[in-house]
Amino acid sequence: MARVWIFGQDINTDQIVPGRYAPYMLKNEADLRNYPFVEHRPDFAANVQPGDLIVAGNNFGCGSSREYAPLALRMVGVGAIIAPLFARIFFRNALNLGIPCFTADLTGVLRDGQMVELQLEAGQIITETGECIQLPPPPSFLREVWAAGGIVPFYRTHGRFPGEAA
């Protein structure tokens, strides 16, 4: 089971990991796991568990193109991020790192702290009461990159990028 973490709209990369924490990443990338939402939601980094879901409003990941913001989320094991709209560069950085992102508005459907099961292959969330929430199916190339763990592992495995002829 995974915990749902609800966030509002316009969550920017500086809220995910404030810029002043970038030097820690440069010294020791593993330290990044201590900083996601350190100021915006201080309980997050200490309590998030691998597989937990972030459910947010519009424009998740807006702001600067800090790649270490999605990297910090990957390092704490976020299982997926679900929002109606993502900032394009955040979405791309998350894809590159193998973090599943689904475009759907579930902020009024799921509760903060609710326990659910993400069935990634089926694109479904199963609630503790057995309710099935179908997520919009992502293109096959996204699923392939997620399964590989990111764009670099995909390339290393297949010797090509998704969509290129084998």
pLDDT at position 129 is 95
pLDDT at position 29 is 78
Give the class (CATH, top level) of 2-116. alpha beta
Cross-strand partners of 6: 55
Residues with Cβ within 8 Å of 6's Cβ and at least 6 positions away in sequence, in order, are 55, 56, 107, 110, 111, 112
- Convert the pLDDT of each residue in 40-65 to its tens digit: 999 999 999 999 999 999 999 999 88
Q: How confident is the model at residue 26 (pLDDT cuts 50, 70, 90)?
A: low
What average pLDDT does the structure give for the chain?
Answer: 94
- Convert the pLDDT of each residue in 61-76 to its tens digit: 999 888 889 999 999 9
Residue 13, burial from CB neighbour count under 10 angstroms (0-12, 13-18, 19+): buried
pLDDT at position 25 is 65
- Convert the pLDDT of each residue in 97-127 to its tens digit: 999 999 999 999 999 999 999 999 899 999 9
Please give the average per-residue pLDDT across 69-97, as a whole number.
Answer: 96
| pLDDT over 90 percentage in the chain | 84
Please give the average per-residue pLDDT across 32-40, as a whole number.
Answer: 93
Rounded Cα distance between 96 and 91, Å, is 9
The answer to whether 51 touches 99, Cβ cutoff 8 Å, is no
| Structure-token pair, residue 155 | 């390339």
Q: Is the pLDDT reported for residue 24 higher than 70?
A: no
User: In the chain, how long is the greatest CA-to-CA distance?
Assistant: 46
Q: Where are the domains of the chain?
A: 2-116
